[in-house]
Chains A and B, each alone.
Chain A
């Protein structure tokens, strides 16, 4: 992969350096054409986002005065704030539970049960094939039981959605963690730690985890983004999370819910952009010996 990309980058440079105007001119024309073609794409993707911002900062409609009232009104709405808090909590719980479930299992399977690796991978990626909508139809009866066993103090608390959300984030988590674990030598690291007297808990938390920390961060950020945007499961199981609240609020005041939608969208964008930088700098010192081994 790396070799291919470096070839792709080198070849055009060599061509441009070649003297003689014909090739250079056609290359310049091609570049101009490419930039022109990018414009409609850019417009299609930018307009709805800009409209979101524009709409949330105008009083009334397009011709009203510029105002931040809608944004301020988010803070005065207890329903929205509660939904926002619940969704953030859900994101945290989901990430922690999914990590606690997947990291030990994936390490364990690598070390002790290599035959199970295909099964674990299959199960982790299965939610990609089973739509969330289908899952929620089947989860209905199970959530009746969950509601039955929930202490009455937490009745209809949306935090129980975390059970379903862990399943939804599993494929993304698995891929990220798998890439992270592939880059290190899990066996040597854990055997070294075990032979020095470390417990399995110490191996996980103090040896494996620090070595795959960028993969763990990557996986958690993706889960947070997914949970904050989740609507299907929550709305069909009649729980109130952020997206359900935004959708409800839209019937009362479009401006406020557009402002909140824009706000959480920006938050998710920042998260995911941060993620693209985490993926960029892989710890080379850990990756190098593993690559040599292959």
Chain B
């Protein structure tokens, strides 16, 4: 666009401007090339090869594999896991954030909790799996201590869906604290005072002011947590080394199985299914966030 108008200029009037147009494009080329090669191309490969055979022929067989009962079961378990940890994580995280907000803004409690939440929300993978194995696994510290007091606790539940739920809460709750604290900070004390001066009780304040205002950011945070749990792989993979009880582990199984020919493109179909779920949750999240930013700033 601009180059056209520059070319139309009488020659020699602004030689610098003439040089600048191609130069300014060159500035973003390395970035675009990198992103194109290592972000957009792999994503496109997932989408395209999900509908193709390893030889490149178009097929619907991979996508049809999504309808197989073991895949549907894994999807259902993944959704259960993400929904439960997002719901529990959102409630517990909101409670924790509320406790923190009640204290002084520069107090030790708030600073410790925010710093710890920032660290723990990123914490996952092998180390987290290991931390839970050595605390509540079969030979874990807590299991052995409980056995000493006579409670016969076995650590087998840790390697099932219920175990994953507890482990996932370890990063879901801190993430909720991080996401929800700014929303709680946006609730102005003047609103409470206004309610009181109009004769409203504490209940009226919560029912008509705070709760309606905090609902969109709460739902938004819930969606973010859902996507976060749905996409998580490392923790589950380190905890459960065989099989595919949830979709991420199904993808691992499909990627590593070399015995079944043509299976690698099933992994792409599964990945496509996953990215659709995550993208829908994230899109709803950003929509919610835009809605709530009107009031809570």
The answer, yes or no, to whether B153 is at the interface (CB within 8 Å) is: no
Interface of B is mostly: helix
Q: How far is the CA of A34 from the CA of B100 in the complex (A)?
A: 8
Please judge, given known A-B contacts A8-B105, A137-B46, A243-B126, whether A38 and B99 are in contact too, CB under 8 Å. Answer: yes
Contact B44 A9 (CB under 8 A): no
Kindly list chain B residues whose C-beta atoms are within 8 Å of the C-beta of A246: 126-127, 130
Contact B34 A166 (CB under 8 A): yes
The answer, yes or no, to whether A120 is at the interface (CB within 8 Å) is: yes
Among the listed stretches B3-11, B214-222, B266-274, which one makes contact with chain A, having 4 or more residues with CB under 8 Å of it? B266-274
A residues near B (Cβ < 8 Å) are 1, 4-9, 11-12, 30-31, 34, 37-38, 41, 44-45, 47-52, 54-55, 61-63, 101-102, 104-105, 108-109, 112-113, 116, 120, 123, 126-135, 137-142, 163-164, 166-167, 170, 225-226, 229-232, 235-236, 243, 246-247, 250, 254, 257-258, 261, 264-265, 268-269, 272-273, 276
Contact A11 B189 (CB under 8 A): yes
Q: Which of A48, A167, A170, A276 is packed against the most chain B CB atoms within 10 Å?
A: A48
Q: How far is the CA of A41 from the CA of B245 in the complex (A)?
A: 29
Kindly list chain A residues whose C-beta atoms are within 8 Å of the C-beta of B256: 236
Q: How far is the CA of A127 from the CA of B30 in the complex (A)?
A: 18
Closest 6 CB pairs of A and B: A138-B42, A131-B231, A51-B135, A48-B131, A108-B27, A55-B134
A-B contacts, 24 of them at CB < 8 A, read: A1-B297, A5-B105, A8-B101, A8-B185, A41-B173, A47-B142, A48-B132, A52-B131, A61-B144, A105-B27, A105-B28, A120-B31, A133-B271, A134-B272, A134-B278, A138-B44, A167-B38, A232-B233, A235-B237, A243-B126, A243-B234, A246-B130, A254-B133, A264-B127
Contact B274 A101 (CB under 8 A): no
Residue of B whose beta carbon sits closest to that of A48: B131
Q: Among B38, B122, B252, B255, which residue has its beta carbon within 8 angstroms of that of A226? A: B122
The B178-224 residues at the A interface (CB cut-off 8 A) are 185-186, 188-190
Kindly list chain A residues whose C-beta atoms are within 8 Å of the C-beta of B185: 1, 4-5, 8
Please judge, given known A-B contacts A5-B185, A137-B271, A272-B119, whether A142 and B42 are in contact too, CB under 8 Å. Answer: yes
Contact B119 A133 (CB under 8 A): no
Contact B118 A276 (CB under 8 A): yes
Chain A proximity of B19: nearest CB distance (Å): 12
Contact B275 A164 (CB under 8 A): no
Residues 17-60 of chain B, each 1 if its beta carbon lies under 8 Å from chain A, else 0: 00010001101101110110111011111100000000000000
Residue of B whose beta carbon sits closest to that of A8: B105
Chain A proximity of B128: nearest CB distance (Å): 8
The B110-128 residues at the A interface (CB cut-off 8 A) are 114-116, 118-120, 122-128
Contact B127 A51 (CB under 8 A): no
Residues 146-159 of chain B, each 1 if its beta carbon lies under 8 Å from chain A, else 0: 00000000000000
Residue of B whose beta carbon sits closest to that of A138: B42
Q: How far is the CA of A264 from the CA of B251 in the complex (A)?
A: 28
Please judge, given known A-B contacts A123-B35, A135-B42, whether A229 and B282 are in contact too, CB under 8 Å. Answer: no
Chain A proximity of B107: nearest CB distance (Å): 9
The answer, yes or no, to whether B163 is at the interface (CB within 8 Å) is: no
Q: How far is the CA of A48 from the CA of B227 in the complex (A)?
A: 24
Kindly list chain A residues whose C-beta atoms are within 8 Å of the C-beta of B28: 105, 108-109, 113, 116, 120
Q: How far is the CA of A52 from the CA of B227 in the complex (A)?
A: 28
The answer, yes or no, to whether B257 is at the interface (CB within 8 Å) is: no
Residues 66-103 of chain B, each 1 if its beta carbon lies under 8 Å from chain A, else 0: 00000000000000000000000000100110010111
The answer, yes or no, to whether B104 is at the interface (CB within 8 Å) is: yes
The B227-257 residues at the A interface (CB cut-off 8 A) are 227, 230-231, 233-234, 237-238, 248, 251-252, 255-256
Please judge, given known A-B contacts A128-B282, A247-B126, whether A113 and B27 are in contact too, CB under 8 Å. Answer: yes
